Chains A and B, each alone.
Chain A
Amino acid sequence: MSFSLKDDKKHNPQKEAEKIVIKAQHKSEDLLVEATKEAEIIIGQTKDFRNELQSKMRDDIAYQTQQFAQSYQQFLPEIKKYYQQGIDAQLQAVKAQLDEAVVEIKNSLKTKVEEIQTLLKNQTIQELTSVQNELQAYKKQQMSEIDAKVRNTVKAASLEVLGKSLSISDHQELIVQAIEKAKKDGIFVK
């Protein structure tokens, strides 16, 4: 649309403007209505699409879930078997380690027992030897004491008998004999 100065003299510009505005308003209203209609169509289409999409997605999800469930059901025994094998292997390894440890402990205990046996044996031998030595010493001492007692008893008895049986003349004779022996032994040599 174009306006000129000639027209401005003939037409009221304000009215023209108002007309234009009104016209534009009508136009825009028309456009808005149309756009609204189209939008409503689009919205309706969109709702349908959405519903369809939702439905499709639900179906897909259900399908996928079913597929996953089936797959899981199929895969579960394998996982179970896998882990069971792992656990068995671990148990086997632990058992082997335990067996090894038990053998090691048994050997260690055997060695310790042998050491203690040897130690006890040596101690027993030492103590036995010590006791034997002490017994030997005790026996020797006792024999020595008995011997001394016997000697003393015999000596005392002998001396008592001899002492009582000697007269003064016997004593005198023995004293003179002692002097004679002393002379023979060189006691009086100057």
Chain B
Amino acid sequence: MTLTPITDLLVTKQDVENLCLQLDRLIDSLMSGTGTFGDKSSDTLEPDYQAAIMMLIKTNNIDESRNVALNEFLNKLKSDLRLIPVLNITVPVRLKKTVIHQIAGDLYHILNEKMLLNVYVDEDIIGGAQISFNGRFKDYSIRKDVEAHL
């Protein structure tokens, strides 16, 4: 399944968790009450996510009237989203969402691969970042440089 429309909106691991919670609520709503899928998705998803999901449903030729097919698609989407690699990164200051998006864009250009950021804040590292991925850890902080020179 191609995830491009939705992954463009997902930058951090928290974004994915947040979307998965919304998808759970959408899946629950499919099994109860009346109304179209469009109504239900509007009620449960953020607008950007809702637009991207509707696009994915069309792209993947999912019948919006068939709850079973929708349910299967949404669960598959959740599983696929959780397979996106996550880069754990510790930074010295709390970054605005726009800055995190810019960094995520740089990360994509550097790695040429979609990767989610899991951002932690530790003021003690002063500058730079500590990076942890797939069980590997590297400290590229200014604190480490200072300590190395003392």
Q: Which residues of A approach B to under 8 Å, CB–CB?
A: 151, 154-155, 158-159, 162-163, 166, 168, 170-172, 174-183, 185, 187-188, 190
CA distance A178 to B143 in the complex (A): 13
User: Do B138 and A159 touch (CB < 8 A)?
Assistant: no
Q: What residues of B have a CB within 8 angstroms of the CB of A183 in the complex?
A: 110-111
Interchain CB contact under 8 A, B93 and A182: no
The residue from A166, A168, A171, A180 contacting B110, defined by CB atoms under 8 A apart: A180
Known contacts A162-B126, A179-B129: does B110 contact A185 (CB below 8 Å)? no
Given contacts A170-B127, A172-B99, contact A179 B143 (CB under 8 A): no
Q: How many residues of B contact A (CB 8 A)?
A: 33
Which residues of chain B in 104-134 are interfacial with respect to chain A, using CB atoms and an 8 Å cutoff? 106-107, 110-111, 123-124, 126-131, 133-134
Looking at the assembled complex, report how far the CB atom of A166 sits from the nearest CB atom of chain B, in whole angstroms: 5
- Please determine whether B128 and A174 come into contact, CB atoms closer than 8 angstroms: yes
| A159-B99 in contact given A171-B127, A181-B140, A182-B140 (Cβ < 8 Å) | no
Whole-angstrom distance between the alpha carbons of A172 and B133 in the complex? 19
How far apart are the CA atoms of A159 and B150 in the complex, in Å?
12
Q: Are A178 and B93 in contact (CB under 8 A)?
A: no
